[in-house]
A = this chain, B = another copy of it.
Amino acid sequence: MALIAPDKENQIPDIVIGRLPVYLRALAYMHQQGKRTTSSSELGRRLGISSAQIRKDLSHFGEFGKQGTGYHVQHLVKELRLILKLDKIWPVAVIGAGFLGHALASYNGFEERGFQIRWIFDTDPTQIGKVINDIPIQSMNELEKTIELETIKIALLAVPAIHAQSVTDRLVDAGVEGILNYAPINLVVPDHVNVGYSDPVVQLQHMTYYINPNEKF
């Protein structure tokens, strides 16, 4: 008599989810270039990934290709956007209006890929009220109130490392569920909150392992 797993884990590996946005980016680019169809091998060549991996990844979500032909680019773009819940625009808050917060708020590449920066917060009284890319900088005093009122789910965290954890705690308490952290520090958050990290130094230090420095320095 076989024992049946009561709650068969059938969830898709996170590592697979993490590749989907990369596929989407490449496919959207192809679409923009006027390309109608592509194949797992062509996509793999562009991304430096094996074709089998791409097919296997996509197979978790359905059958999107056609044997002999490949994938219809526009269709696959549409499907990936649905899977990643990008059929609506996600409103996003930027926390911190330093150089980096300014650069993020000024970047116009978010919207066509599913996001819109709608709020900017800072503590500096001399910054508050200034406008970046049509968005007025708000006081951090209004953080919780605004997050709850607007049900903001995603924030870009561009504050000094020393304040990153305390601001994170405030964001989480107010209901934020996704944080992209630019401060060079690890954040502690509850399980239901997703954190992404962007620390250029971490990435550079990863590279230096493989590079031989020259004698000059």
Residues of A within 8 A of B (CB): 17-18, 20-22, 24-26, 29, 46-48, 83-86, 88-92, 98-100, 102-104, 106-107, 109-110, 113-115, 150-151, 153-154, 156, 177-178, 180, 184-186, 188, 194, 196, 198-211, 213-214, 216-217
Contact = CB atoms under 8 A, between A and B. Distances in A.
A102 to B, nearest CB: 6
Given A17-B209, A194-B207, A206-B196, A110 B29 contact: no
A15 to B, nearest CB: 10
A154 B210 CA distance: 12
Contact of A180 (B92, B104, B110, B200): B200
**Residue of A29, A100, A206 contacting most chain B CB atoms (<10 Å):** A206
B196 A154 contact: no
A184 B106 contact: no
B100 A208 contact: no
Contact of A177 (B24, B46, B211): B211
Contact of A156 (B26, B92, B200): B200
A154 B200 contact: no
Contacts of A153: 211, 213-214
A92 B203 CA distance: 13
A114 B206 CA distance: 12
A107 B47 CA distance: 30
7 contacts: A17-B206, A21-B206, A48-B188, A104-B200, A113-B184, A114-B205, A154-B211
